[in-house]
Amino acid sequence: MSKGGGTNYGEGVTLNSASSSSPLLPSSLSQYTAVKEMDFFSGERRSPAADPDLGLKALTSSRIKEEEDLTVDTGLNLLTGNTGTSDRSTVDDVSSPAEDFKGSKSEMAAMEAELARVKEENRKLKETLNHAITSHNTLQMHLIWLMQQHHQLNHGEAADRKIDCGGAVPVPRQYLDEPSQSSTTSRCGDRPPSPPGSMDFRLRQSSTDKEIIHENTEQAQEAIMRKARVSVRARSESPMIADGCQWRKYGQKMAKGNPCPRAYYRCTMAAGCPVRKQVQRCAEDRSILTTTYEGSHNHPLPPAAVAMASTTSAAVSMLLSGSTASGPEGLMSPAGFMARAVLPYSSSMATISASAPFPTVMLDLTQESRGAAPQFQRPPAPLPAAQLQVSLPGRGGGGSSFAMPAQAPSLSSDTVSAATAAITADPSFTAALAAAISSIIGAGSLQAAARNNEESKSSANRSNSDDGDRNAAH
């Protein structure tokens, strides 16, 4: 730490394992389920078409409501049928009380029949909904499993070719001083030796090497994930998009090539939250605000921010996992296929961010192209200095499957378009999405950090101070 430790902005980060911004995919399942139980942005009116599940739910709710209304109406009819005091302007003829009674009786019977019908329909809809949810969860579980398989396969094979026991996964220099990396190099030395040439030795070497390789890969990816950024381009007149989190400005700089200053913010929702964001207006179009999130929240996110977390987790995770497969095969990798399967409208257009030191997911919500397919860009780049770009058509209402990756393959583009239109119409969507993705990306880091913490406890030789972390972060 070069500068006096006087600052209490939260450099001595305490990682909270109970954070809601935890786990990448597995727990996001439960999150997803939870999200489906709530409105993404409480208080905001949502179109049922915004989300097939929500739509179905809304439909079901409306049915339930209808049923309730029907009950109320029936009651009202029963109560007011004979009084004539109610506003029954549609009933012009004057009928006798007996006829009225007869009328209400038959009306009641009809309504009861209708009620029964609606109940039955409601029950069917509920079944359908449950079935849809179950199917969705099953599919998502399967997807995750496949991703893990592909990922292991991919990296395992690559590592088999390139890495020996003392080797390291090709990781940029800035990641190598991460605690997670240093732990892997010492691992080989810690291993009790087996007699070379023995079957036990060969078997153990083979399996342990694969373990090491897998751990190396995993840790390298976690390190990358920890540094991953989420950048969101969106049109906004306000100086900063409201994303539900509290931010404190700690700096402002004039960036080269842009007359607009870049502002630096820290999350102040919890003491020690390491999340930062940069906000800058686009030089070409001042109405476009670029917000870049970095780090992972160590506290529960507000509903607005966490809402989209689960639905975007798969996409981001896949993008990132795919991105770590270096070389041109990256695009053709199983993860790439998977990503395209999950993001069916994705194009193969790729961009390389040579300047980005860390993988960056860019969400472009400024494009106005109506009906244009969303762009999922993953570069066949010499990673990890990669930039992933997901372009969502703006409020104009283009189609996108980004928000509902696991469902998209079975949806028509119209459905997806409607959903996207409804979601992106929400002004807080941009920020919430970014915060959510940011938390997801950081989620891996929390796990990694937790693991590192444990490792550092067990390893007496390693000095794993906050300062070190901070320097590494620099």
Partner DNA sequence: CGGCTTTGACCTGCGC
Partner DNA sequence: GCGCAGGTCAAAGCCG
| Span between the terminal Cα atoms of the chain, in Å | 10
* CB 261 within 8 Å of CB 237: no
Smallest distance from the beta carbon of 242 to DNA, in angstroms?
A: 12
- Positions touching DNA (CB under 7 A) are 2-7, 9, 11, 173-174, 246-257, 262-264, 268, 276, 278, 357, 471, 474
Smallest distance from the beta carbon of 10 to DNA, in angstroms?
A: 9
DSSP β-ladder status, 229-235 and 247-254:
unpaired
The Cα–Cα gap between 340 and 225 comes to 21
Helix axes 429-458, 309-323, angle to 10 degrees: 60
Smallest distance from the beta carbon of 455 to DNA, in angstroms?
A: 23
For DNA, the closer of residues 2 and 89 by Cβ is 2
Smallest distance from the beta carbon of 271 to DNA, in angstroms?
A: 11
Smallest distance from the beta carbon of 381 to DNA, in angstroms?
A: 15
Smallest distance from the beta carbon of 177 to DNA, in angstroms?
A: 9
For DNA, the closer of residues 33 and 174 by Cβ is 174
- Residue owning tokens 């067990």: 458
For DNA, the closer of residues 188 and 240 by Cβ is 240
The Cα–Cα gap between 3 and 470 comes to 11
Cβ neighbours of 214 (radius 10 Å):
15
* CB 356 within 8 Å of CB 386: yes
For DNA, the closer of residues 42 and 246 by Cβ is 246
For DNA, the closer of residues 139 and 473 by Cβ is 473
Say which residues have a Cβ less than 8 Å from residue 363's Cβ, sequence separation at least 6. Answer: 230, 231, 232, 233, 389, 390, 391, 392, 402, 430, 433, 434, 437
* CB 215 within 8 Å of CB 184: yes
For DNA, the closer of residues 193 and 257 by Cβ is 257
For DNA, the closer of residues 45 and 474 by Cβ is 474
Smallest distance from the beta carbon of 409 to DNA, in angstroms?
A: 37
